[in-house]
Structure 1
Amino acid sequence: MELNENDIDPRRQAMYLYWQGYRISRIADFLGEKPATVHSWKRRDGWDSYSPLQQIEHTTAARYNQLVGKSHKDPGDFKELDLLGRQMERHARIGRFGETGRESDLNPNVERRTEERKKPTRNHFSDEQIADLEAAFHAIIRPYQKKWFDNRYQDIRAILKTRQCGATWYFAREALLGAVKDGRNKIFLSASKSQALVFRREIIKFARQVGVKLSGNPIVLSNGAELHFLGTNASTTQSYNGDLYVDEFFWIGGFKEIQNTASGMATLDDMHITYMSTPSTYSHDAYGLWSGADYNRDLPAAERMEIPTTHDRLKDGLLCADGIWRQMLTIYDAVAGGMKASPEKLRRKNTGVNFDNKYMCQFLDDSESVFPFSLLRSRMVDAMEKWRDFKPWANRPLGDRPVWIGYDPSSTGDSCGCAVVAPPRFAGEPFRVLERYQWHEPNFQAQADKIRELTQRYNVTHIGIDETGGIGRAVAQIVKTFYPMVESMHYNAAMKTDLIVKARSVIEGRRIEFDYGHTDIAQAFMAIRKIVTPSGKYVSYETSRSEEISHGDVAWAVMMALIHEPMSGYEENSQGLMEIY
């Protein structure tokens, strides 16, 4: 059956023509109807009651249905159908806007712009990213680190380790993986705030491997877990709880107080404590924890437990009778477990005692040292927390404050030491060792250039150089070309004695500070011992030679700066007077 426009219901056609604006009389003539009939349709069907939007919707739908019903459609029909469909969608949006008044119902782009402005969930890991994080973690850890991971749920882990075995790298990753999976807080407690922030940097790098950019300090993950990075100020640690990681605990001053305060963070049964460190001295407060003496102290003799502390018992890790899982990881253990290092090369660069301390987990006996650790540790501070005026990464780290530089050069091809020290401005203010360097560059011009760089960063008012050896004299001559006021010194027994006496006076008087993280300064001072000269007539001082601790050069460099102050110490009115003739 063929249909045409004349077959359309005239009553409906009349309504559409009326909405187009035609007069009733003209509509009646066009349809062949009486005007009274069309007026009757208008009144009965309420043509004037339709809103403009409703009129458009009706006519558009009628035309759309008409085109859909065609058996044979030409390209123009399809184009018109697409246009009519989009118009009906627009009509629907206008209708919703009339009901809600929301601009986004009228214009979808408004809602899309709002969605674009919404920030993604901060510090969030998807399930896929967590899986990738775990896979990346297990793909790269070494066998000895796998032992650490397998024992992560021990109540307490105490790890005595060689240098550079990747402990910071590993435990940062272990903590992040644990936090995203179990939602527990992780707390990193280091000797200084700057050391603790090394863990933060490693955690951020690990997260970037799976496309997550972490921010904030503390880092608060989307699952609620918090990652805190703290120094050893006990008053700042009391309000936190979670799994605790204590870094370089054998170098923390006031360890007992820190232990009592910080252990409260991991009070709950599902929280754990990890201690890790290179060894310092037998006299350190933490040695009682390691040896088990603290555990056995208050027990009757019959109930005391044997706590092993030897390498053969602890090299693979051992859960001891006091509930602490202990491990002693030497350089040879680490190399066997995949660490890339040459123990024999390190041994050639270090004397026996220093090699054993740094790489074989052996404690130092500082009983014969001129500067025992018990004396030095009281002068170690959290520089980031205490020295608020010192900004080490700035172009001018201390602004225009004056500093003194001490330089102790190599005389035998060993490394050289340089120290930047801020002198006191008033009575009661301590010296501060801001920076220290160990330079292995044998070229004296290169060493002088490094000193020049320091004069460009700091307001240097004194440079003291030991010119006993050939390199020292050469460096001093070059330094004089850009810093004519350099003070050259020649080491002899009397000069060394003056340096030692001055340093002892400053340290014993609690008039010097250096950062907890600069353990090499403490090691360099501890390496200095009193000797008798070959003639047997005089007392002098020597350093246990070890490239790793700068052969004591860092300590002598600090003393080269300290000696610029009069032996009597700081004097309020000790202003110099220069007369020009």
Structure 2
Amino acid sequence: MGEPNRRKAKADRIEIDVSHAALKDGRLCEDSVWRQIVTVHDAIAKGFDLVDLDELQDEYAEDEFANLFGCVFVDDSLSAFKFNDLIRLGCDSLVEWTDFEPEAARPYGNRPVWAGYDPQNSENGDNAGLVIMAPPTTPGGTFRILERHQLRGLDFEQQAEFIKAVLSRYNVTYLGIDATGVGAGVYQLLAKPDVKIGGVTKIEYSLEVKQGLVMKAQNVVRRGRLAFDSAYMDIVSSFVSIKRTITDSGRNITFKAGRGGDDGHADIAWAAMHVLSNEPLDGKEKPVSTLEIIE
């Protein structure tokens, strides 16, 4: 339905109360549109018992929790990525991606995929993020996020085992890992020749590296070269949570997210950026070739 106040004089415009208090129980509004706001608190009050509210509040930063579970719009004024730009990247993957079968033993066949991992920091309890993408098949083509996972409460060996199990279903030709802190142990375990994960690459964060990751991702997002299922709102939230800020010296711009300015709770976004960084900044890498083996 179109905008109800379009081309109407100010005195004739319809005022619609879209607050949670007004729409909690749902109502037919003045423009004849039914609206309802249901937060996780509302759902729990009505008997929904499949989530642990305390666990969710502990897992997500306050603004992320409000957006994902409280129906509160994100303030992206300081974000490195814009909410509307990211929302436009969503699609119905089950319908549009005919070459991808999530439940199959080999979801993407023998075609190559790239992966990125942002490890868990055991000191502050942040999540870890693993992202698997189908890289572009033509220069300047689209990156598709096939899977994303968050890990919590695992040591470096358990993290490595989880990654190996998930990636065993794919033909991985690149895996970018933040190898600082706990990530160093994860990297060492996955880089062993007997693990058989292709292209395991160490990413060591610095001011310049972080700026490069964000710059590349911003370019990909602005050009609409990233796609993921519309239901994956945590991807949107993760990217939007990355904010521009000033370094402690006050001399440079950097990017941080999560509680207390730490980099946590943007783990999926950083993992995705590890993948995107495998393509040159101009996006003109030679198309990926595949070899189909028929037995």
Please give the range of the TM-score, normalised by the shorter of the 2 chains.
0.7 to 0.9
- In the superposition, the TM-score normalised over structure 2's length comes to 0.85
The 1:434/1:323 distance shift into structure 2, 3 A limit, reads same
Structure 1 residue 515 corresponds to structure 2 residue 253? no
Correspondence list, 1:95-174, <5 A: none
Give the aligned partner of residue 527 of structure 1: 241
Q: Which of the numbers 11, 17, 22 marks the counterpart of 1:313?
A: 22
Correspondence list, 1:151-300, <5 A: 294-300=3-9
Per-residue deviation, residues 376-410 of structure 1 (Å, max 9, x unmatched): 23322222232211112111111111111100011
Q: Secondary structure at the match of 1:328?
A: coil
Distance in 2, matches of 1:560 and 1:301, equals 50
The 1:349/1:510 distance shift into structure 2, 3 A limit, reads closer
Contact 2:60 2:265 in 1 (8 A): no
The 1:339/1:515 distance shift into structure 2, 3 A limit, reads closer
Structure 1 residue 407 corresponds to structure 2 residue 126? no
The 1:422/1:484 distance shift into structure 2, 3 A limit, reads closer
Please report how far the alpha carbon of residue 484 of structure 1 lies from its aligned counterpart in structure 2 after TM superposition: 7.4
Letter in 2 for 1:352: E
Distance in 2, matches of 1:442 and 1:499, equals 26
Letter in 1 for 2:185: A
Contact 2:139 2:284 in 1 (8 A): yes
Q: Secondary structure at the match of 1:368?
A: coil
Q: Secondary structure at the match of 1:374?
A: helix
Distance in 2, matches of 1:428 and 1:347, equals 39
Distance in 2, matches of 1:509 and 1:304, equals 37
Give the aligned partner of residue 391 of structure 1: 101
Q: Which of the numbers 554, 557, 567 marks the counterpart of 2:268?
A: 554
The 1:497/1:312 distance shift into structure 2, 3 A limit, reads same
Per-residue deviation, residues 93-122 of structure 1 (Å, max 9, x unmatched): xxxxxxxxxxxxxxxxxxxxxxxxxxxxxx
Contact 2:16 2:29 in 1 (8 A): yes
Distance in 1, matches of 2:178 and 2:211, equals 14
Give the aligned partner of residue 143 of structure 2: 431
Contact 1:441 1:447 in 2 (8 A): no
Please report how far the alpha carbon of residue 542 of structure 1 lies from its aligned counterpart in structure 2 after TM superposition: 0.8
Is the helix fraction higher in 1 or 2? 1
Task: Give % identity.
Answer: 39
Q: Which of the numbers 340, 347, 351 marks the counterpart of 2:57?
A: 347
Distance in 1, matches of 2:287 and 2:145, equals 24
Q: Secondary structure at the match of 1:477?
A: helix
Q: Secondary structure at the match of 2:117?
A: strand
How many residues are treated as equivalent by the alignment? 280
Contact 1:545 1:552 in 2 (8 A): no
Structure 1 residue 459 corresponds to structure 2 residue 171? yes
The 1:328/1:379 distance shift into structure 2, 3 A limit, reads closer
- Which has more radius of gyration? 1
Letter in 2 for 1:539: I
Cα RMSD after superposing both structures: 2.5
Letter in 2 for 1:304: R
Letter in 2 for 1:332: H
Give the aligned partner of residue 144 of structure 1: none
The 1:475/1:325 distance shift into structure 2, 3 A limit, reads same
Q: Secondary structure at the match of 1:557?
A: helix
Q: Which of the numbers 168, 174, 188 marks the counterpart of 1:477?
A: 188
Contact 1:413 1:442 in 2 (8 A): no
Letter in 1 for 2:25: D
Please report how far the alpha carbon of residue 454 of structure 1 lies from its aligned counterpart in structure 2 after TM superposition: 3.2
Q: Secondary structure at the match of 1:551?
A: coil
Give the aligned partner of residue 293 of structure 2: none
Per-residue deviation, residues 402-426 of structure 1 (Å, max 9, x unmatched): 1111000111222210011111232
Give the aligned partner of residue 73 of structure 2: 363
The 1:516/1:314 distance shift into structure 2, 3 A limit, reads closer
Give the aligned partner of residue 446 of structure 1: 158
Distance in 1, matches of 2:242 and 2:21, equals 31
The 1:308/1:316 distance shift into structure 2, 3 A limit, reads same
Distance in 2, matches of 1:347 and 1:513, equals 28
The 1:325/1:574 distance shift into structure 2, 3 A limit, reads closer
Please report how far the alpha carbon of residue 349 of structure 1 lies from its aligned counterpart in structure 2 after TM superposition: 3.4
Contact 2:112 2:173 in 1 (8 A): yes
Q: Secondary structure at the match of 1:450?
A: helix
Letter in 2 for 1:323: S
Contact 2:133 2:143 in 1 (8 A): yes
* Large movers: runs of 4+ above 6 Å: none
Structure 1's unaligned 5+ residue stretches are 1-258, 261-293, 576-581
Distance in 1, matches of 2:166 and 2:185, equals 18
Q: Which of the numbers 85, 95, 105 marks the counterpart of 1:375?
A: 85
Higher relative contact order (CA 8 A, sep 6+): 2
Contact 2:175 2:198 in 1 (8 A): no
Q: Secondary structure at the match of 2:191?
A: helix
Contact 2:211 2:255 in 1 (8 A): yes
